[in-house]
A and B are shown apart, each in its own frame.
Chain A
Amino acid sequence: AQKITQTQPGMFVQEKEAVTLDCTYDTSDPSYGLFWYKQPSSGEMIFLIYQGSYDQQNATEGRYSLNFQKARKSANLVISASQLGDSAMYFCAMRIGAGSYQLTFGKGTKLSVIP
């Protein structure tokens, strides 16, 4: 069963605006980690941000923030002040369990920033 769901295959945002990319997850394990990766058209996978299930505060990294709503099992990525270089595929991923090595990825959201 799919554990990570990204419901938006594609999104458009105006340059300099903020955008939210949705991610919901499903696990009964109390210990898990949530990750967001960016994949530009050049193909490399770039780590953006991490949120642990026990972290009290929402993670932030520069223009990226993670809107973590544990009760709703959602971990949405917010990109503020979008730039043309933000156009890319964005993947949400989850690691389940404290002893796990495995990342399970969502299907991704293609973000296009419009000038």
Chain B
Amino acid sequence: DTAVSQTPKYLVTQMGNDKSIKCEQNLGHDTMYWYKQDSKKFLKIMFSYNNKELIINETVPNRFSPKSPDKAHLNLHINSLELGDSAVYFCASSPTRRNEQFFGPGTRLTVL
């Protein structure tokens, strides 16, 4: 019955590799998001998709590319991983822009 799920939960990889994080929501929401939480617990929005269309693209390096194959999925692909990409990445969804956002469990990415 998981509302917003992410895979994998943990991801350990070498610098320079390419990796993807998958996100799925079964809530029927129109809008999905990716957030990054750094080591100091600061949460910052990266991307927002509404009905499969990119709405927000904050100042994120273009090594990060979101892909939304359908309304229920928003995947995050990261090229040429760097040490500074180590963080917890959260996927979230909301039914409309006005409502609270429901978060996935997070993916802890460690770049060695």
Task: Give the B-binding residues of A (Cβ under 8 A).
Answer: 33, 35, 37, 39, 43-47, 50, 89, 91, 93, 95, 98-105, 107-108
Main secondary structure of the interface of A (DSSP, over half): strand
| C-alpha spacing A99/B55, complex, angstroms | 11
> Quick check: is B106 within 8 A (CB to CB) of the other chain?
yes
- From B35-43, B62-70, B73-81, the one touching the partner chain is B35-43
Size bracket, chain B contacts: 20 to 34
Complex: chain A residue closest to B102, CB-CB: A47
| C-alpha spacing A101/B33, complex, angstroms | 9
Instruction: Given contact pairs A103-B33, A105-B44, enumerate 6 new A-B contacts (beta carbons under 8 Å).
Output: A43-B88, A47-B102, A50-B99, A95-B98, A107-B41, A108-B42
State the Cβ distance, B25 to closest chain A Cβ, in Å. Answer: 14
| C-alpha spacing A107/B43, complex, angstroms | 8
| C-alpha spacing A74/B23, complex, angstroms | 34
Q: Beyond A43-B105, A44-B106, A45-B90, is A102–B45 a contact (Cβ under 8 Å)?
A: yes
The answer on a CB contact under 8 Å between A101 and B97 is yes
| C-alpha spacing A108/B100, complex, angstroms | 18
